[in-house]
Structure 1
Amino acid sequence: MLAAYAAKFDADNPIAALEVGERPEPTVPEGWVTIDVRATALNHHDLWSLKGVGLAEQNLPMILGCDAAGVDPDGQEVVVHAVVSDPAWKGDETLDPKRSLLSERYQGTLAQKVAVPARNVVPKPAGMSFEQAACLPTAWLTAYRMLFTQSGLKPGDTVLVQGAGGGVATALITLARAAGIRVWATSRDESKRARAVEIGAHESFESGARLPERVDAVMETVGQATWSHSLKSLKQGGTLVISGATSGQAPKSAELNRIFFLQLRVQGSTMGTRTELAELVQFMENAGISPHIDSVLPLAEARAGFEKMNAGDVFGKIVFTV
């Protein structure tokens, strides 16, 4: 079957480690099912995997990808939940010490077929396309958990979204706006600031700009480059929710004095549960919102999508059709 996979690691030029070609069809352990993939989406996680981050060399070659929408063996249209927990684990899958994501220990979704635990699928709404549904399991689920599980935000509050343009950031803007939260966003790019307003941000600002007032929570996926601005933007008692660090994980200062003196809360957030994925799908259907897609390419042209993401030339999700 056709797949996009990591054949090796290259920390300096991850695209050089990418292969697009034939791989064996997945083996299906007991309790798992094979999904015929109709659409799959790209994440920064895939680029990190090509660099050798979070993926063990003994697991190469590894089919990349965490996101997929497709058809199960019974002909049902489904969305795949990418967090694979231990079969004995009960409760929040993201807290299972033995958890893994598809494309880390198990072959991923950038392929014509993917095997997943039977419990790792949720129904796809009939009104949502496969391309739209494929955007949800990583970026949109991460955003949903950040906003509605980890932040403490409520309608009427103000949230700052750092780095408008990426998949998580665009999801955060749209979901927060739909929930009645005032949304501010930042970006270095003027066109991305304008588009952030188009998709729901009440205002957008240049990265690092002084805000009109401090906010109740900051959604942080950029890391090192925006860490100080995020902390300085919070009200006393505010919450910074961090789910990624695409610019690096070593800010010049942790600013611990600011954190403890202003009683700020720093909350980590990783992916989301299957239940949260089902809630997200229902929320989007009820609110009449859909994912923001940067571009759609056939899986055979996956390299072009990886190059686009690696260059940072993205607003929304890059989707591959199968």
Structure 2
Amino acid sequence: MLAAYANAIDPDDPVSGLVVGERPDPQPREGWTTVTVKAAALNHHDLWTLRGVGIRPDQLPMILGGDAAGIDEDGNEVVVHSVITSPGWTGDDTLDPKRSLLSEVYDGTLAEKVLVPRRNLVAKPASLTFEQAACLPTAWLTAYRMLFVKANLAPGSTVLIQGAGGGVSTAAIALGKAAGLRVWVTGRTEAKREAAFTLGADQVFESGARLPERVDAVIDNVGQATWAHSLKSLKPGGAIVTCGATSGPNPPSDLNRVFFLQLQVLGSTMGTREELQQLLALLDTTGLRPQIDSVLPLSDADTALKKLAAGDVQGKIVLVP
């Protein structure tokens, strides 16, 4: 089968280690099933894998990709939940200390077929295309959990989203608006701030700008560059939810502010299978759809990953076998 896989690791030129070529079909495994991939979306995780983060050279070749929608062995249209838990694990998928994502231990979704545990399949609503559904299991699921599970925001709450251009941030803007939140967004450039308005932001600000008032929660995956502003933007008792640190993981903690104002600092990673079902139901009933930058054939994975690495993206890049 055709697949896009990491064949070598290069921290400085990650796409140089990518090969698009033939790989063996998945072999049957008890409790797992093969999905014929109709669409797969790219994530920055794919570039990190090519850089050697979270994977060892002796694990190569490794098929990339965590997000996919397709057809299962019974002919059902499904979405793949990419959090793979250890055998016998019960409870929140994301709390399993031995969990992994597709393409970390097991081959991923940038292929004509992918082998996944049967429990990781979620029914795809007929209202969503395969391309739209493939965008959801990582960035959109992460944003959903941050907003509605970790921050527990309700209609009328005010949320500040740090960074207007990333996959999680753009998903959080659209989801927050659809759920009746008051959505404020920061962006480094005028173009990104205008794009945030298009997605539904109520107000946009330059990075680090003083806000008209403090907010109930901050969604922050930037880390070091925005952390101080995020803490200063919160109401007493407010929450900052973090799922990443693209600008660095060790900002000044400002513990005096945290304890005096009783702020909450909440970590969040991906989401559960049940939360993915809830997210799909939300899109099905509201008509909300993920923004797609481009749809390319799987054979053009090299071009797609270079585009992602360059940051020349507004929305998700989707590959179709």
Q: Classify the TM-score, shorter chain.
A: over 0.9
**Which position in structure 2 is the counterpart of 1:101?**
101
State the alpha-carbon separation in 1 of the partners of residues 300 and 254 from structure 2. 44
Shift of 1:82: 0.2
**Which position in structure 1 is the counterpart of 2:253?**
254
**Which position in structure 2 is the counterpart of 1:178?**
178
Unaligned runs of 5+ residues in structure 2 are: none
State the alpha-carbon separation in 1 of the partners of residues 309 and 319 from structure 2. 16
5 Å matches for 1:47-196?
47-196=47-196
**Which position in structure 2 is the counterpart of 1:274?**
273
The worse-fitting range, judged by mean Cα deviation, of 271-280 and 3-12 is 3-12
Partners of 1:40 and 1:67 within 8 A in 2: yes
State the alpha-carbon separation in 2 of the partners of residues 315 and 56 from structure 1. 31
**Which position in structure 2 is the counterpart of 1:17?**
17
Q: TM-score, normalised by structure 1?
A: 0.97
Structure 2 letter corresponding to 1:103: S
The worse-fitting range, judged by mean Cα deviation, of 24-33 and 137-146 is 24-33
Structure 1 letter corresponding to 2:276: L
Do structure 1's residue 284 and structure 2's residue 279 form an aligned pair? no
**Which position in structure 2 is the counterpart of 1:233?**
233
Structure 2 letter corresponding to 1:20: V
**Which position in structure 2 is the counterpart of 1:46?**
46
State the alpha-carbon separation in 2 of the partners of residues 143 and 29 from structure 1. 32
State the alpha-carbon separation in 2 of the partners of residues 278 and 100 from structure 1. 20
**Which position in structure 2 is the counterpart of 1:31?**
31
**Which position in structure 2 is the counterpart of 1:297?**
296
Paired residue secondary structure (2:154): coil
Shift of 1:182: 0.2
Aligned residues: 321
Paired residue secondary structure (1:282): helix
Shift of 1:250: 2.6
Shift of 1:256: 2.0
Partners of 1:56 and 1:104 within 8 A in 2: no
Paired residue secondary structure (2:140): helix
The worse-fitting range, judged by mean Cα deviation, of 18-27 and 141-150 is 18-27
Shift of 1:285: 0.8
Render the CA deviation track for 1:142-171: whole Å, top value 9, x for unaligned. 111111110021111100111112211111
**Which position in structure 1 is the counterpart of 2:2?**
2
Shift of 1:314: 1.6
State the alpha-carbon separation in 1 of the partners of residues 237 and 52 from structure 2. 38
State the alpha-carbon separation in 1 of the partners of residues 228 and 306 from structure 2. 30
Structure 2 letter corresponding to 1:58: D
State the alpha-carbon separation in 2 of the partners of residues 129 and 155 from structure 1. 28
Structure 2 letter corresponding to 1:15: V
Partners of 1:166 and 1:317 within 8 A in 2: no
Render the CA deviation track for 1:103-147: whole Å, top value 9, x for unaligned. 000000011110000110111111110000000110111111111
Structure 2 letter corresponding to 1:224: Q
**Which position in structure 2 is the counterpart of 1:317?**
316
Q: Runs in 1 of length 4+ with deviation above 3 angstroms?
A: none
5 Å matches for 1:191-206?
191-206=191-206
Structure 2 letter corresponding to 1:279: Q
Render the CA deviation track for 1:277-311: whole Å, top value 9, x for unaligned. 01110011111101111111111111111111111
State the alpha-carbon separation in 2 of the partners of residues 226 and 28 from structure 1. 46
State the alpha-carbon separation in 1 of the partners of residues 50 and 117 from structure 2. 25
State the alpha-carbon separation in 2 of the partners of residues 17 and 60 from structure 1. 10
Structure 2 letter corresponding to 1:84: I
Q: TM-score, normalised by structure 2?
A: 0.97
Structure 1 letter corresponding to 2:261: L
Paired residue secondary structure (2:183): strand
Q: CA RMSD in A?
A: 1.1
Unaligned runs of 5+ residues in structure 1 are: none
**Percent of residue pairs bearing the same amino acid type:** 64
State the alpha-carbon separation in 1 of the partners of residues 80 and 74 from structure 2. 15
Partners of 1:137 and 1:277 within 8 A in 2: yes
